[in-house]
Chain A
Amino acid sequence: MHLNLRVDPTQYIAQIRNVPNYDYIHLVRQPKYMINLPLLNEKVRYLNEIFSKKEFVQKNNISILHAHHAQLGMLLLPFKDETGLPLATSIRGRDATMANQPVGYLESMKLLFEQGERFFPVCNYLAEKIVAMGCPPEKIRVLYGGVDLEKFPYRTPLQRNTQNILSIGRLVEKKGHHILMQAFQKVQAKFPTATLTIIGSGELEEYIRSLADELNLSDSFRLLSHMTKEQVQEQMAQSDLFCAASLEASNGDVEGIPNTLKEAMATGIPVVSTNHAGIPELITHDKEGILVQENNVDDLADALEYMLTNRNRWESYALAARAKVETAFDQKQQLLQQAKFYDELLGGLS
């Protein structure tokens, strides 16, 4: 039985519905979190509408509870208590920070670490963070999120005269869009026809639009929101360079490893990113792409310029990037790994 935040295509559906040899119940907290009709089926259920937990578990033949965020793991503790089922909890960027968390968060995290059987941080960086918060290391299994390689087939980097830079991510501080925009403005001096496209929506939309005005980015900058996956892929196909300027937000919020970065790498788009959170586990500087210090406009501008100037190096970056994603971030492999972790939890393997 999986508990995630929303029934919504952005919420790691494969990790719930496509784990080999494991059937699923897709639980969300309340009906209001079911927001995508095509994903609704008879396996979608609502935590607050479970009448008797024991009956529910029996009727649906549930053997493992998997919460896809720390706060959801805490929510399932009484459920676990009542049913005696093992609980695995995925740990993503926000879970391992104290930023903007509700009252008693750390205390509840400690309880979760004590009572939960398994923790699946999405990168080693977050694994270290939760150990520091008190999670017993023997309960931790790092589980990288995977990319559907068939949906993101490789293409050779575009060799043409355009300089279209793409970034995808919610409009929140930790995505570093504001740093990218300032770096982009600097790059424009040397590459006047360069463009920057940001795809995402979120609380900082107004700020980002006014920053674009302030920086006089005019037609060279586009902010696109509410796009379908197909539309996003189309934008990817047209871009020359991908950038994820991730950084630690002023409230401490951090990333895991951004999925869009993995997708760009799978597609063969050269990437520029930052030494932030789990990103160095995906990209070694100057091998699968370029990494710069986070929150540094000049460094990022230099890296973008370097990339745009050295187009001849793109293919070697892109090939190494694809190889890295295939080795460590292939969704098929990662789902098999997840199934193995479940097997182990059920006592099948050690």
Chain B
Amino acid sequence: MSDFQSITVSKGEKFLEIDNPTEYPLIGMGSQGAVFKLSENKCVKIYTNSLQAKMEKEALLAGQHLPFFPRFYESGSNYVIMEYFNAPTLKEYLRNCTYIPESITKKLLQVLSELKKAKFTMIDAPLRHIFVLENEELKVIDHVNSFKRIHPVPLKLLRDLNIILLKDSFLAQVMQLEPQTYKEWMDFFDHNKMDYKNIPVSSGGSGKGVKVDSAISQTLIGKGHQGAVYRISEDKCVKIYGKSEHAKQEKQVLLSNQHLSFIPKVFETGSNYIVMEYLFGPDLNTFLKKQTYLSDEVAGKLFDILAAMKSAGFKQIDAPLRHIIITANGFKSIDHVYSFTRSQPKPLELFHNLQERNFLDSFLEYVQATDPKTYNEWMPIPFDENGLVLKR
């Protein structure tokens, strides 16, 4: 079985690079390592960094007395062999559930309490790391950071439950079953309330997303290359930037174009943040996934945004579908950091996105019919050798 050692896992530009000359199937991959199935009850996790292999081994050994820990079998400088579970994750198990079963809440609370008792600092696990065996027995994997990160409150668990709309019923049950735990969690959130004027968001460096503090992740709406967005009230959110230069650029675009219908309203700005209106609605990419054709109404509204950008003197004329939010007050466009600084006369990312949705042709037909001049300016569209629109 030791031939798994011929597998190499190393850090690539974006993802892990894996060379697997063996027959062992890859069953999981994260940022630290990759997991291969060795047999019906064993798997090996191979790490890019030997320190992490050591951390996982130590955590596993420290938790061997806990019933929900995977059995530890063997380790080496860059690998750990442990128990393999052929079972659905809790996320899969709860699929389509609209009220969390009390039996699951009880078991989760038990897991959390035992982690605490065993002096782990990470009293948390995301749904994808929890497996549900027969008789609803839970098993929790990935303990690399069990003694490193400090999560006295199950932030990841709550965030994941929130995404599948089960956080409210989970908390309602926690309040009933363990009122003291519930109070501790609520106190934690009260103490870690968002203070956007003084918040740690750091730039992840070139090509990487920003890093945010997980203690306030419950209100995180989204994060990208330049900043992270948090909800701060019913109708407001704040975008916090890793670099103040980006904040300055976007501020300039937003403030000088508040009269344009597609620009979100700005309420307040600081050197590294902008408070703006919270936009309710699906993004256009999500919306178009459910449509069988591109209506003239959608094409028209999209085109109006591009035309307004041009006449307002934007240098970057583009509207990626995921950056258009369909609200009751019309289409809104977000992320304008480079609108005044990056020269791009053709909306290539939009074309690329529309092509993915199979609506590029109908959009171009619409533009050709309603504004032939613009259509001609957009032609020709650059394609790569596979016929896909080149984004730049």
Contacts and interface: CB of A to CB of B under 8 A. Distances in A.
B287 interface: yes
B231 A79 contact: no
Interface string B218-233: 0000000000000101
A230 interface: no
Given A29-B165, A40-B326, A226-B292, A34 B287 contact: yes
Given A75-B99, A104-B103, A34 B282 contact: yes
Contacts of B295: 37
B280 interface: yes
Interface in A3-32: 29-32
Interface string B281-305: 1110011001110010110000000
Considering residues B99, B282, B287, B297, which has the most beta carbons from chain A within 10 angstroms of its beta carbon? B99
B24 to A, nearest CB: 32
B290 A37 contact: no
Contact of A72 (B98, B171, B280, B282): B98
B117 interface: no
Main secondary structure of the interface of A (DSSP, over half): helix
A265 interface: no
A43 B281 CA distance: 12
Interface stretch (A44-52, A166-174, A283-291, A294-302): A44-52
B29 interface: no
B172 A78 contact: yes
Interface string A50-78: 01100110010000000000011011011
A75 B326 contact: no
A240 to B, nearest CB: 29
Contact residues on A (Cβ < 8 Å of other chain), bracket: 35 or more
A204 interface: no
Q: How large is the interface on B (under 10, 10 to 19, 20 to 34, 35 or more residues)?
A: 35 or more
B282 A104 contact: no
A113 to B, nearest CB: 13
Contacts of B98: 71-72, 74-75, 102, 108
Main secondary structure of the interface of B (DSSP, over half): loop
A52 B282 contact: no
Contacts of A59: 234
B329 A42 contact: yes
Contacts of B280: 31, 45-46, 49
Given A34-B326, A41-B328, A44-B328, A104 B97 contact: yes
A52 B231 CA distance: 11
Contacts of A104: 97, 99-104
Nearest to B291: A35
B165 A81 contact: no
Contact of A107 (B102, B291, B297): B102
Nearest to A226: B292
A130 B290 CA distance: 33
Nearest to B136: A103
A132 interface: no
B297 A111 contact: no
B168 interface: yes
A32 B169 contact: no
Contacts of A108: 97-99, 101
Nearest to A28: B282
B256 interface: no
B92 to A, nearest CB: 10
B94 interface: yes
B96 interface: yes
Given A78-B171, A102-B94, A32 B282 contact: yes
Contact of B96 (A42, A49, A102): A102
B14 interface: no
Contacts of A32: 282, 286-287, 290
Of all A-B residue pairs in the complex, the 9 with the closest CB atoms, nearest first, are A104-B101, A78-B168, A31-B282, A74-B99, A75-B98, A102-B96, A108-B99, A42-B328, A102-B97
15 contacts: A31-B280, A34-B287, A34-B326, A35-B287, A37-B326, A40-B326, A42-B329, A51-B234, A72-B98, A75-B98, A77-B172, A78-B171, A101-B96, A103-B93, A112-B99
